[in-house]
Amino acid sequence: MEARHVTRPDAPGETVPAEATARPLAARTLVAVAVGGALGTAARIGFGDLAALGDPAAAWYGDNPVDDLGAFGDAALLATLAVNLLGSLLLGVIAGAAWPARLDWLRAGCGAGFCGAFTTFSFVALVFAVLGYSSGLAWGLLISGVLGGLLFVAIGAIIGRAISPGAIRPGTAHPDTAEHPGSSA
């Protein structure tokens, strides 16, 4: 298989392997991911506070985890599942939406930053560490979180495509054409 080549932006007529044109990660992208991550973490903790749980992962500090199983009650597990599913839906919307290339940094901040910090697989791992691999609660959280997360990402992507500016909807003309419904040509 032959490598794909592209025209060099600084030297029209010359081609280079596509990999050679990769852009370095911009500082604004790193800042956007960091800010998105901070906001996502705050939102997750806020969601836990709304459910009167705080951050379930932060509620466990004891030396003997078996004595601290209250942090892994049904409400905490359901709140974690709800956060993970909501975050998956939002990530699907972000991934499915049409973003202008100039806003790639914002897309990274919203997706990897906010959604990555808002959702919490580490809590699922902590549940396994504390309750053990024979726990039905831990397995239920893992399976429903993974399968539900995949479903919610897919639904979110459909929503993202549907609400994107310039999205092609049934009964409308393609945005690149001059024809529009209701116009006479």
For the chain, which residues make up each domain, given as ranges? 26-163
- CB distance 118 to 87 below 8 Å: yes
Q: Please tell me the predicted confidence (pLDDT) of residue 18.
A: 58
Task: Give residue 9's pLDDT.
Answer: 60
Give the residue from 89, 118, 99, 90 showing the smallest Cα distance to 29: 99
What is the reported pLDDT for 174?
Answer: 44
Q: What is this structure's pTM? A: 0.68
Res 73: pLDDT: 64
pLDDT at position 49: 74
Enumerate the known binding-site residues.
116, 119
158: helix, strand or coil: helix
* Confidence (pLDDT) at 23: 63
CB 66 within 8 A of CB 129: no
Rg over alpha carbons for the chain, rounded to the nearest Å, is 22
Taking the chain (185 residues) in consecutive chunks of 10 residues, what is each chunk's mean pLDDT? 61 64 78 97 85 54 49 71 94 93 93 95 80 79 92 97 71 46 44
Sequence ranges of the binding site for Na(+): 116, 119
Q: What per-residue confidence (pLDDT) applies to 31?
A: 96
